[in-house]
Structures are given as C-alpha cells and as structure tokens.
C-alpha cells in the first residue's frame, strides 16, 4: 500500500533541501511518453506522486497494456514547479515497474508458446527491492504473472535449512501445527526422489529447487503418481529463455526471481509544454 510518507520520502530524496532547478513560475502540462515497446505498469504510483503535489493527472491507458514507442501513458497539469518536481520520481517508478511487467509478459508468452496440455503459472518471488515490493508485485501482476507470497505471513516455505535442522517429515509437521488452516506449506526439495515423499507428508506445494528440466519432469511425474494432491513449483535461476523447457515438464508453477531483481528499466521521457 503506497502511502503519503512513501511519496514524501521519494520526493525529499530527489528534491533535497534547496531546489533551485525546478523554481519555475506559472503552470504547465506534462506528458509521460514511452520511448520503446513494452508493457506499462506503475501508473498508480506515478499518479499518486503528482496528486500529492496537487497536480491533476490523467492516465489514458491502464497498467498491463502493451505500448509502443511514442505512446503517451500519463498526462499531468498544474503548477510548473510541482510538475517538474514530480517528473523524475514518476519517470523512474514507471520505468522500473514497466520493466518488471515487460519481462513478466515475455516469460508468460514463453510458457504459453509450448504445446503442453496446461500452461504453468509464471510467479515472482520475494527477491524484491526493499521499499518497492508493492510496486514490483503489482507490476508482475500487470505483466500477467502470479505475485506468489507477498510476505512471510502469506505462506510457509520450508527451506533446505529447516530440513537440515529438523528433517523433512518433522519440519512439515512442525510448521503445519503452527500455521493457520488457511496457510499453505511450500516445501523445498533438491532431488526428484524426495518430491513424492514431500507431497505425501503434507506439503501443499513441492518446490523443485535448482533442478534441470529433465529432473523437474521426473519429479513432477513422481508427485502425480503419488496422487497426493500437491502442486509442483520449479524454481532456481530460471531465465525467460529457460521457460519453454520447464513449461514442458508438467509443473504447475515456474517461479522467477529475475522478474524483479534483474528486469531492465523500460525507457520513458517526460515532456512539458
């Protein structure tokens, strides 16, 4: 949830203590213009920045829309000083969010390009920028992806360190006893042979970590054969180029930290007058 204090912090960081650069009289109109093809996101945050500065904002298109170079994604009018003060923050947040959405859409398209009977979901992870998780997660959704868990409270992930300390079955039982009935358990395994045992022990999702496509397919088949009603999730350094191979394995979810931590910024410019 974006708050006024978030926006104030962004603007204070950019404006500093004595802003001479934007000391411009009168009123003006501004346009946020795409300089390359992609998927736009972050318009809600850009709008909030300008509205905080008492400017009127119009967004002619919605987040999640495919755009071309030259498309205007936001219009603003108000005091020239306010419009110019909000410019850089709005451009930066829109460019970053749109980069995440664009990369997510590429991954979703790659998954849908396969000939499998069911297309796996493309999901983000918690590998987000501190302070920007909400914007980045919404950008993943705008690109057609699944947000995965938003924070630690949304789902229990039983990782390798938990299993090393308690053992697989005991770790699952430990967290199942402490979690709400509404909270799912996502349990990490590193070998295909451990996948069905994990599903049978009560995991809602079996996380197939750092496995090759061949290993992932074997693990997914073993879970299906166990008939334990668990989803399978592939994760661990998967790139957009890797997505088709993993989509063919039969997994239900492909999680990709690179959607947020390695997405390039989509280029925008801000023009006034």
> What pLDDT digit, counting tens, does each position of 212-234 carry?
999 999 999 999 999 888 999 99
> What backbone torsions phi and psi does residue 118 show, to the nearest 5 degrees?
-130, 135
Tokens of 253: 């979810």
pLDDT at residue 227, as a whole number: 80
Same domain, 87 and 23: yes
Domain residues for the domain of 244 are: 116-261
Q: Is the pTM of this model over 0.85?
A: yes
Q: Are residues 60 and 163 in the same domain?
A: no
Total domains in the fold of the chain: 2
Rounded CA-CA distance 1/4 in Å is 10
CATH label of the domain that carries residue 223: 3.20.20.70
Residue 16 has pLDDT above 90, yes or no: no
Q: Who has greater pLDDT, 92 or 229?
A: 92
Strand ranges of the sheet holding 56-58, from the earlier edge strand across to the other edge: 56-58, 72-79, 27-34, 268-272
Determine how β-strand 156-158 pairs with β-strand 185-189: parallel
Co-location of 134 and 256 in the same domain:
yes
Measure the CA dihedral 170/171/175/178, to 10°. Answer: 50
Cβ(87)–Cβ(115) below 8 Å: no
In angstroms, the Cα distances linking 226 to 80, 159, 169, 206 are 65, 22, 16, 12
Same domain, residue pair 137 and 67: no
DSSP 8-state code for residue 117: S
Query: Catalytic amino acids?
Result: 127
Burial of 204 (0-12, 13-18, 19+ CB in 10 A): middle
143-178 pLDDT tens trace: 999 999 988 888 999 998 999 999 999 999 999 999
**Shared domain check, 29 and 84:** yes
Are the C-beta atoms of 59 and 40 separated by less than 8 Å? no
- What's the pLDDT score for residue 116? 79
- Mean pLDDT score, 241-252: 97
Q: Is the pLDDT of residue 118 over 80?
A: yes
């Amino acid at each position: 949830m974006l708050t006024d204090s978030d926006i104030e912090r962004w603007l204070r960081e950019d404006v500093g203590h004595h802003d001479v650069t934007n000391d411009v009289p009168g009123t003006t109109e501004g346009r946020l213009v795409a300089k390359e093809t992609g998927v736009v996101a972050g318009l809600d945050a850009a709008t909030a920045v300008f509205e905080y500065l008492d400017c009127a904002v119009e967004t002619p298109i919605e987040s999640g829309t495919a755009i071309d170079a030259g498309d205007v994604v936001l219009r603003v009018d108000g005091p020239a000083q306010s419009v110019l003060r909000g410019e850089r923050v709005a451009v930066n947040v829109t460019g970053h969010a749109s980069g995440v959405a664009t990369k997510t859409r590429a991954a979703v398209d790659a998954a849908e390009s396969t000939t499998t009977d069911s297309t796996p979901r493309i999901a983000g992870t918690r590998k987000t920028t501190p302070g920007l998780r909400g914007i980045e997660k919404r950008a993943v959704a705008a690109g057609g992806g699944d947000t995965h868990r938003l924070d630690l409270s949304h789902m229990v992930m039983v990782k390798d360190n938990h299993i090393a300390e308690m053992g697989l079955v005991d770790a699952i039982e430990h967290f199942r006893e402490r979690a709400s009935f509404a909270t799912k358990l996502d349990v990490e395994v590193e070998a295909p042979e451990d996948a069905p045992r994990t599903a049978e022990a009560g995991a809602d999702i079996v996380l197939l970590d750092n496995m090759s496509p061949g290993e992932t397919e074997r693990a997914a088949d073993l879970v299906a054969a166990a008939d334990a009603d668990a989803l399978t999730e592939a994760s661990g350094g998967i790139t957009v180029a890797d997505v088709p191979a993993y989509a063919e394995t039969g997994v239900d979810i492909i999680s990709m930290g690179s959607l947020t931590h390695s997405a390039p910024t989509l280029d925008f410019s801000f023009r006034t007058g």
